[in-house]
A and B are shown apart, each in its own frame.
Chain A
Amino acid sequence: MAFVFPSDEWVKEFGNQINASKAYEESGKDWEGDWIFIVEADDAYPNTVYFFIGLYHGKVTDAAMIESDTAREAQYFMRGSFTTWRKTIEGKMDPIQGLMTRKFKLKGNLTKVLRYPRSAKELVNCVKRVPTEFPS
């Protein structure tokens, strides 16, 4: 079964994939900090969508589509267009390279994020494991 991106079902499955990942459990064992991912409207998708991902000590505490970037408290915000997110999910763009070329923008304690490159890489692996279909 494929999950439509962006949707609440999709982000919940993303959370399931993270919780099933031994590699993320190991690499994120000390991580404390919740994220909001912002999927910005562009030519390929008309609405801006917000995802909350709670992460604590290698596990997802909650994953949900939310109303806005202020609907839940979070420490980290990652913003990119629908097309940029799609390329990442399809494995066509490394999100770290996306950050370096400003396709993604990050708000939060950067020094802390830089301490967890392996966690970041494993989150990308998890996102690619979600069976995803995109609106035509």
Chain B
Amino acid sequence: MWNFVSPRIVFGEGALDVLDELQGQRALIITDRTMLQIGLVDKVKEHFRKAGIEAHVFDEVEPDPSVQTVQKGAEVARHVKPDWIVGLGGGSPIDAAKAIWVLYERPDIEPAAIAPVEELGLRKKARLITIPTTSGTGAEVTWAIVLTNTGEKRKMGLGHPENIADIAIVDPEMAAGMPPRLTADTGLDALVHAVEGYTCSWHTDLTDGLCLQAARLVFKYLPRAARDGQDMEARERMHNAATCAGLGFGNAMASMAHAMGHSLGGTFHVPHGRAVSLFLPYTIEFFAPQAPERFAELAVFVGFPNASDEKAARAFANQIRDLCRKVGNPTSVAEAGIKRKAYESQLDKLVDDALNDTQMVTSVRTPSVEEMRQLFLYSYDGRPVDF
């Protein structure tokens, strides 16, 4: 027995117009200052004005949102008393909106205890709308929440199926202003979701197709979107790819590249998509000797057939490295600009955090402490994994 959860998804050009028809009194838009500066908050507020809904803004979400930030946002929500909460932005504001919503409805819960084991009883005070302005996190259609414990410099994988959005608005115009670097980082995040959602131990028939199509779209359209931000066909297909991948991995799980990426990101603040895509090929090479079949299937589906399963899995890892290079992204931790001395001084923490990340539960091969240490070292140098 398992569940497939999804919001109502309104997608395509003009999707934002769905806001005009909403019923309610007050909305609280959870976002960051960049969204305010580039005018996307005003654009959303204008739609709420048409709907006759009073819109308030909490714009203090930082990259890798902290527990403290969502607690502050929840205080604002308790003051505003919204009946709609809106996550507007990339993964950070959307994840923060989910957490703020939970804490607004359930002030008795600690953020670190938002987990899918007991009923939350949400939707008594408000409902959630998600509006992604990047094409990658899939946060608009998942119930996952990643918060950072700033004291421990550790990312926490949280969430509950109940905190899935009621409406996800996937409008490519909202992502049209992304600069090339952000386009590449977030687009590669979508690829990692697709690959890990397809290959993790919790994949299902209902998620496989979404992951396969998302991977194919990313290989085809990400180089175009990163090269020319005005290529609206590429933008739209990448926006759809991110949502497909989000539905795919959100109803299966991510895996070890996410565990390692969370660990690196929590310690060195490497952007999420850059971190997870950097590690993905190394994790595929680590899995290849024991569980290559699904990587080989994926490789065939996206157009890279090869002779045997393990060989195909390893070739697929290199195809991902090629895509990273094509869009100007690092394929090793060293290329990501982290100094060896600083990295090695944090190695024990990186290993420990990765092994204890919630995404590790679906890993198709579980590394020992020493193997995880070697994975981090190989990834630093850019050496293909051979153990």
Interface residues in chain A, defined as those with a beta carbon under 8 Å from any beta carbon in chain B: 22-23, 26-27, 94, 96-97, 99-103, 105-106, 110-111, 114-118, 120-122
Contact = CB atoms under 8 A, between A and B. Distances in A.
B2 A99 contact: no
18 contacts: A23-B366, A26-B368, A100-B117, A101-B1, A103-B1, A106-B117, A110-B113, A110-B115, A114-B112, A115-B356, A116-B356, A117-B360, A117-B361, A118-B355, A118-B356, A118-B360, A121-B361, A121-B366
Instruction: Give the interface SS of chain A, mostly helix, strand, loop or mixed.
Output: helix
Given A23-B368, A94-B361, A120-B361, 15 more contacts: A26-B369, A97-B202, A101-B1, A106-B117, A110-B117, A111-B110, A111-B112, A114-B115, A114-B158, A114-B358, A115-B356, A117-B360, A117-B361, A118-B360, A121-B361
B201 A94 contact: yes
Nearest to B201: A94
Contacts of B161: 100
B144 to A, nearest CB: 13
A101 B358 contact: no
B353 to A, nearest CB: 10
Interface string B357-387: 1101100001011000000000000000000
A117 B356 contact: yes
A117 B115 contact: no
Nearest to B158: A114
Contacts of B37: none
A77 B53 CA distance: 46
Interface of B: 1-3, 110, 112-113, 115-117, 156, 158, 161, 201-202, 355-358, 360-361, 366, 368-369
Nearest to B117: A99
Contacts of B115: 110, 114
Nearest to B119: A102
Contacts of A118: 355-356, 360, 366
A33 B20 CA distance: 53
Contacts of A27: 355-356
B387 to A, nearest CB: 16
Contacts of A94: 201-202, 361
Contacts of A110: 113, 115, 117
A121 B202 contact: no
Contacts of B356: 27, 115-118
Nearest to A124: B361
Contacts of A97: 2, 202
A116 B115 CA distance: 14
Contact of A117 (B116, B357, B368): B357
A26 B360 CA distance: 15
B113 A101 contact: no
Contacts of B358: 114, 117
Contacts of B112: 111, 114
B113 A121 contact: no
A79 to B, nearest CB: 12
A101 B201 contact: no
B3 A101 contact: yes
Nearest to A22: B368
A100 B251 CA distance: 12
B347 to A, nearest CB: 16
A17 B110 CA distance: 35
Most buried by B among A105, A114, A120: A114
B159 to A, nearest CB: 11
A102 B115 CA distance: 12
A113 to B, nearest CB: 8
Given A26-B368, A101-B3, A121 B117 contact: no
Nearest to B355: A118
Contacts of A100: 3, 116-117, 161
Contacts of B156: 114
A123 B2 CA distance: 22
Nearest to B359: A117
Nearest to B1: A101
A63 to B, nearest CB: 23
A120 B117 CA distance: 15
A93 to B, nearest CB: 9
A111 B366 CA distance: 23
B54 to A, nearest CB: 36
A15 B356 CA distance: 22
A120 B358 CA distance: 10
Nearest to A115: B356
Closest 7 pairs between A and B when the two form their complex, measured CB to CB: A100-B116, A111-B112, A111-B113, A99-B117, A117-B361, A118-B355, A117-B358
